[in-house]
Structure 1
Amino acid sequence: MTDLVLNVEEQRALRHLLVAIPCPGTPVPSVHVLEWLAVLVPADTLTAVFRDRARCAPQQTSIGRAATLADHDRLEIEFANGDDDVVRVTWARHRTSFSERDRAMVRLIAPALARLVHERPAPTPACLTAQERTVLGRVAAGATNAQIARDLGIAESTVRKHLEHTYRKLGVSGRLAAVARLQERDLPGLDLKERIARMV
């Protein structure tokens, strides 16, 4: 087995992948997830396809140039999603082959990727982006805006902007209310007793 030593950029991409939240309503990883995967295993084309036996058209997300039958080398990983459904992630290179390190990296990230394609949260009325959910998850863990900015490698003003968008989408006015809404502790229509029960 190949020893993996990750550079700073790969470490950042792996951190993002590990804290990524599945896209609501679809098992296909987001473009952001594919971009992080491309940092970890560089490819000319990176595609994620969900094939649902009940539907005729597959759902697909991809980055890079269109894949062709003339690809020089491919790496593929498949995940069962339900009884008959499959999510396939494909890395393709047009001129060079994948190394043993690339194959080892795919084995390393497979569990994180499996989590992203298996968990299918219900869509929220005003869906948050993956980055907004990541920021809000860090808020829920007690991090300050400065800590979140440092951890995610973004400006503190960007964190504030993500939180502003989150508050607007969730219909709340502050950090605590947003975290409660995200964790579904503050669902409209619950009486006080039910709200308290959800908070314990």
Structure 2
Amino acid sequence: MALINTKIKPFAAKAYKQGKFVDVTDADVAGKWAVFFFYPADFTFVCPTELGDLADYYPELQKLGVEVFSVSTDTHFTHKAWHDSSDTIGKIDYAMIGDPTQEISRNFEVLREGEGLADRGTFVVDPDGVIQAMEITAEGIGRDASELVRKIKAAIYIRNHPGEVCPAKWKEGEQTLAPSFDLVGKI
């Protein structure tokens, strides 16, 4: 699990997005912020609550220049069927990538070998294709999109302000830190 500060691996997949099947590759991520949001399977229990929560924050993420890709080992056809049959999933506008070959899940080290399912994994990728943040949780623990947005804002801030870092619970507009010798032991 040493993926922080590593470049994402090349991939090509089919996705369901806004009523269409689309091709998605690592080239679609180049030059922009992206979130890869892995989950175990369609038509399950915790997954729709997470995906719906993320859909609620998608317009805010778009304003920040962030693209979202949900990923499971289901097919893009299954994603469409779920989108068409669930009010919660029906509100999703971001790409729902099908990973039936398990290549993308394996690349991000979230594949449960022998089960064919992905763990709950969230990865924030910068415009250079480098993973800046990640979170992996057990199957029964749902994620919070508001916390993801906070982390993305912090990642964008520190990229745009070299020499500064964001302390715990930092929110946009709050004080940051400038690490220096004089700051050691003063916090």
Q: One fold, TM greater than 0.5?
A: no
Structure whose residues are more often strand by fraction: 2
Larger RCO, structures 1/2 (Cα 8 Å, 6+ apart): 2
TM-score of the two chains, using structure 1 as the length reference? 0.26
TM-score of the two chains, using structure 2 as the length reference? 0.27
Structure whose residues are more often helix by fraction: 1
